[in-house]
Structure 1
Amino acid sequence: MSSSASAELHQTKKQKMSDASAERIGIVTHNGTHHADEALAVALLRSLPQFSSLPLTRTRDASLIDKGTIVVDVGATYEPERQRFDHHQRGFEHTFENGFNTKLSSAGLVWKHYGKAILSQKLSEDVDSDLVDLLWKKLYEDFVEAIDGIDNGIAQYPGQALYKSSTDLSSRVGRLNPRWNEALPSDAAQKQKEEDQRFEKASALAGGEFWDTLEGLRLAWLPAREIVLRAVEGRKSVEGADSRGRILVFDEYASWKDHLHKLEAHLNITEAERPLYVIYPDSSSSWRIQAVPVTPTSFESRKALPEKWRGVRDEQLDGLLGFEQDLKGAVFVHASGFIGGHKTRQGALAMARAALDL
């Protein structure tokens, strides 16, 4: 092939690629009734520079869908390399993996493929950092997975629900759709315009709550995790603590239940050395001793406080404990044995050590 012919062929290919790019119409999702999954998916995509300025097209027209730069929740195909993210097609069973088993919706698909890039930009962190990976999984667990489950019709609990819930994000997004008997414009273009305006409100709602959740994790959840991590790692060296690490002491209160079990797994702590009791200050300048639950949401404790202490208070409890004078000051033990109180740190520690042997 001559050099001139080769140059002409190259120019023709370049022109075709340019024409194809020019035909792209931006972010595409379905029109009609909107849902929380595509509302959140669009909000997430718009947070990335490559998608932030793209127009949104809501349609079920296959010829328009095919022109989308990125397509979510419509199109009947999941092809990440082509930026196609639908989950309605037969045979789709993809999950977020990483220990999660819920079938993905468009929100989960976008978070799975773009979540780390979003967090990297929001936090000014390297996309491969441990922090980005930690929050990528945590935000799926705390926010996105429920939207995936609801959109795919997956029950949260087995059996018959005991009550109705209509205050979740999916319900609130759904209420931004027109009511079934609400009069809409007869003109198709006007009707589509009104529906799109409602969708923009829904996407702003979903996105706003998601960013608020991220901010809460950044400002509260992460600092608590650091406090719990330090306490777990140093639990055997605390004066008066248990040599096997079964007592965890906080000199400042932190929300610990959501972190302890995961950190135990992360640090490969054996069952014999897992904390059974947590000591921490309360708001009245006294100290609490709390039995660690079997799971973060369980009412069952790994080792509840001794039965003979339960429901007993003050001097009567001091009598049962039998401590020396300098360790008196017991306040109470709850009737279920999951928590108790003492006026001093050392007294609470002494209660924990005694409880280990009973």
Structure 2
Amino acid sequence: MRCLRPDKPWTTKLSSAGLVYCHFGSQILGGLLGLPADSPVVTLLYDKLYENFVEEIDAIDNGISQRDGEPRYALTTNLSARVGHLNPRWNDPDQDTEAGFKRAMELVGGEFMERLDYYHRAWLPARALVEEAVRRRFEVDASGEVLELPQGGCPWKEHVFGLEKELALPKALQLVLYPDRGGQWRVQSVPAGPHTFESRLPLPEPWRGVRDEALSQLTGIPGCVFVHASGFIGGNRTREGALEMARRTSCFRSSHLPLHLP
């Protein structure tokens, strides 16, 4: 059975868990969060929890492969597998499945609540932070391609991809600035996609693997700390230095200017 809600794009065949979630998920989430079932927060979390929790259960329960080709490794610790391990062994003298079922309910219920708590109290606030940064991006750099976040550790990548589409940004975001926990700053490339390590705009190749004063001399930017060997991230002691690294990277990409500008 497919999802019966015409407003959703999901096509994975439903398990019994998915069927319950499809019909009653919004009411369940609203009750747990103390919000109306049709509130924007519940609607957003409903989709997020289905795509990142329930749909996996539906697919595994219905024998739907995650990929068409040969998998590179086995996945044996997913939620469905953990529930399956709670069943009695085939050769156990005691074949009482009721005890295992109760343990499974506790396991799945606990994980569901933990995931809801994370998405509600961490993932959702991060989205608001990234959206505000997107709207203020031209205050950071005239190109509109550099995003500045007020704190590190924020899960920004998925929100960048979603907001680019939702807000129909005319230009893709390329680089993100944020402070680290030590008070220094990072400049990081936006990934080319949600499931790849490839960067949209890696820091220039001659900078990669160079550190500290040698990097500052190479770039002409004071306070440089490092650039990763792959170019996906670099660091500077100050916001101004990290922003200049971002601007220099954009300039080199667009016009092949020298990496060390006077």
Q: Hey, what does 1:269 align to over in structure 2?
A: 169
Deviation at 1:198, TM superposition (A): 2.1
The equivalent position to 1:245 in structure 2, one of 131, 144, 149, is 144
The equivalent position to 2:135 in structure 1, one of 233, 238, 248, is 233
Query: Contact 1:294–1:301 (CA<8 Å) still a contact in 2?
Result: yes
Q: Structure 1 residues 94, 137: CA separation in 2 closer, same or farther (over 3 Å shift)?
A: closer
Distance 1:163 1:275 in 2: 33
Q: Which SS does the other structure have where 1:160 is aligned?
A: coil
Distance 1:110 1:244 in 2: 47
Percent identical residues: 49
Distance 2:181 2:4 in 1: 43
Q: Hey, what does 2:255 align to over in structure 1?
A: none
Q: Which SS does the other structure have where 2:187 is aligned?
A: strand
2:193 corresponds to 1:283: no
TM-score, structure 1 as length reference: 0.66
Aligned partner letter, 1:206: V
Residues 207-255 of structure 1: CA deviation (Å, up to 9, x unaligned): 1110111011122111211111111111112xxx222310001121212
Deviation at 1:95, TM superposition (A): 7.2
Say what the alpha-carbon RMSD is for the aligned residues: 1.7
Alignment of 1:166-181 (within 5 A): 166-181=76-91
Task: Give the number of equivalent residue pairs.
Answer: 250
Larger relative CO (CA 8 A, sep 6+): 1 or 2? 1
2:159 corresponds to 1:256: no
Distance 1:321 1:356 in 2: 14
Deviation at 1:99, TM superposition (A): 3.4
Distance 2:137 2:9 in 1: 28
Distance 2:12 2:250 in 1: 39
Alignment of 1:183-198 (within 5 A): 183-184=93-94, 194-198=96-100
Where does structure 1 lack aligned partners over 5 or more consecutive residues?
Answer: 1-91, 185-190
Aligned partner letter, 2:14: L
Distance 2:3 2:51 in 1: 16
Distance 1:201 1:307 in 2: 53
Distance 1:305 1:284 in 2: 22
| Structure 1 segments of 4+ aligned residues over 3 angstroms from their partners | 92-97
Where does structure 2 lack aligned partners over 5 or more consecutive residues?
Answer: 253-262
Aligned partner letter, 1:169: L
